Amino acid sequence: MKTEVDLYQFEHELWSNGIQFVAGVDEVGRGPLIGPVVTACVILPHDFVLEGLTDSKKLTEKKREQFYQYIMEHALSVSIGMKDEKVIDEVNIYEATKLAMYEAIEQAPIKPEHVLIDAMKLEQLEMPSTSIIKGDAKSISIAAASVIAKVTRDRMMIELDKKYPMYGFKSHKGYPTKKHVEAILKYGLIDGYRKTFKPISTILSERK
C-alpha cells in the first residue's frame, strides 16, 4: 500500500530546493482506435492533499469524476493538450503524445519551473524536467494530471456515444475491445478513427 508520503517524494525534494511551481504531466489515449490523445499539465499547491489519489486507471469512474472536481478547484494551474487522429496518423502516436504534452505545458496559466513527466522524455522543454517510470503512481502531480486527462477524454467519448450509440463508446472509450471491432465491421468507419492503427488500417486496405 502506497503511503501519502511516497506520492510527494519528488515534489518535496524540488520544493525544498526553492522550486515553487512543480508541474505533473501525463497522457491518456495512446491505445484507442478513435479520437485524440489527451494530455494534462497540473501544478498543485504545497499543502495539497487528496486521499486515495493515484493512477487514474486504478480508480473507478465515479471516483475519477470526484477527484477531477477537487483537483480543478484546488490546483494552482491546470491545462490540457491534445492531438487528433490526423496528427497521430501523420507523425505516429508516440510523437503526437509528445506534441500534446508540449502543448499542455505551453498552455499552463502558471509557467512551471520543473516538470515531472510520466515515462516520456521531453528534450525540447525550456525548463528542467524529470521522466518518471510509472510516475502516475509515484508523484501526486502526475497522478492529478492523469485524472484530468482521463476524465477529459472519457467525456469526449461519452459525447461521441450520444451521436453514435451503436459503437458503444461509453463503455470501451474507443479502445479495441471485441465489441468495438464488431461494431466497426458492422457499421463502418466514422470520422475520428486512426487510419494507421490496426484493425482500421487492415479494413481500409481491404476496401481498395
- Tell me the per-residue pLDDT of 65-92, one tens digit each, with 9 for 90 and over: 999 999 999 999 999 999 999 999 999 9
Q: Which CATH number describes the domain made up of 4-156?
A: 3.30.420.10
Nearest residue to 150 via CA among 81, 57, 41: 57
H or E element: which one contains 60? none
Report CA-CA distances (Å) from 62 to 53, 112, 155.
Answer: 13, 30, 13
pLDDT band at 33 (very low <50, low <70, confident <90, very high): very high
* Calpha distance 160→165 (Å, rounded): 8
The 10s digit of each residue's pLDDT in 103-137 is 999 999 999 999 999 999 999 999 999 999 999 99
pLDDT band at 56 (very low <50, low <70, confident <90, very high): confident
pTM: 0.95
- Residue 195 confidence (pLDDT) above 90: yes
